[in-house]
Amino acid sequence: MAAAWAVLRKECRSEWRTRYGLNAALLFAVTSLTGVSLAVGRLGDRSDVLAGLLWIVLLFAALASLSQVFVREVEGQTMTLLRLVASPGSILAGKLLFNLAFLLVVELVTVPMFLVLMGAPPPRWGTFLGVLGLGSAGLAVTATLVGAVIAQTRGRAALFAGISLPLVLVVLGAAVSATRAQWGGGSAGNELRLLGAYTIAMLAAMMLLVDHLWED
């Protein structure tokens, strides 16, 4: 656990030095939000559409950067060194925590902007934050696992979105439908449970598979 914590601290520090991933994700989120907002205008009375747009903006902003944690190591040729000082489990845990924190920062900027720009009705905060939290967890777990695999391929960044998206679609579908339900006044319990179960199942798969991720 201490090693995972150290990996997280190292990730935060190296991200803070360049802020490359964060800048890219935020810029992507803000520009795509601007694009959406310009194209469709304010949609205060169409919360069904808003829910979909919100998650698409978040998803693509996130996917642009979530593989960076591993691609950076491979490109900087520091992966071997990292593996000498930390176990695969703690590397993966540290990177996962970093991706989660990264997503929260992106959401902290994107979500309020989205609500204001799109003229969204006030959300039911408890459910809304629950969906954002569980959705981010599902996204982070899946993207971290796929990122670790993708970093070792030829295509790397280009492949990442295409490979991780199908596994993320369950998260996206459930999160959109829960967000829609909280705006529409319905219950989002089933979707929240689905998100939670999927995240836990993926996390369990990740823990079982971690020893096979790096070998040579």
Q: Give the residue, chosen from 117, 129, 167, 196, that forms a contact with another protein under the rule CB under 8 A.
A: 167
Asked if residues 61 and 29 have their Cβ atoms less than 8 Å apart, the reply is yes
Told to check if 207 binds another protein by CB under 8 A, we report: no
Told to check if 91 binds another protein by CB under 8 A, we report: no
Asked if residues 91 and 82 have their Cβ atoms less than 8 Å apart, the reply is yes
Told to check if 186 binds another protein by CB under 8 A, we report: no
Told to check if 206 binds another protein by CB under 8 A, we report: yes
List CB contacts of 199: < 8 A, sequence separation 6 or more: 134, 137, 138, 141, 171
Q: How far is the CB of 149 from another protein (least distance, A)?
A: 5
Query: Within 96-155, which residues bind another protein (CB under 8 A)?
Result: 145-146, 149-150, 152-155
Told to check if 215 binds another protein by CB under 8 A, we report: yes
Question: Considering CB under 8 A, how many residues would be counted as binding another protein?
Answer: 34
Which of 80, 203, 73 is CA-nearest to residue 151? 73
Q: Which two tokens stand for residue 170?
A: 């369950």
Phi, psi of 38 (to 5 degrees): -65, -40
Of residues 6 and 170, the one with the C-beta less far from another protein: 170
Told to check if 44 binds another protein by CB under 8 A, we report: no
Told to check if 189 binds another protein by CB under 8 A, we report: no
One-letter amino acid for residue 83 of the chain: R
Told to check if 212 binds another protein by CB under 8 A, we report: yes
Q: Give the residue, chosen from 41, 76, 112, 162, that forms a contact with another protein under the rule CB under 8 A.
A: 162
Phi, psi of 189 (to 5 degrees): -60, -45
List CB contacts of 23: < 8 A, sequence separation 6 or more: none
Told to check if 169 binds another protein by CB under 8 A, we report: yes
For the purposes of burial, counting CB atoms within 10 Å of the CB of 191, is it exposed (0-12), middle (13-18) or buried (19 or more)?
A: buried
One-letter amino acid for residue 198 of the chain: Y
Told to check if 77 binds another protein by CB under 8 A, we report: no
In the complex, the residues that contact another protein under the rule CB under 8 A are 145-146, 149-150, 152-155, 159, 162-163, 165-167, 169-170, 173, 177, 190-191, 194, 197-198, 201-202, 204-206, 208-209, 212-213, 215-216
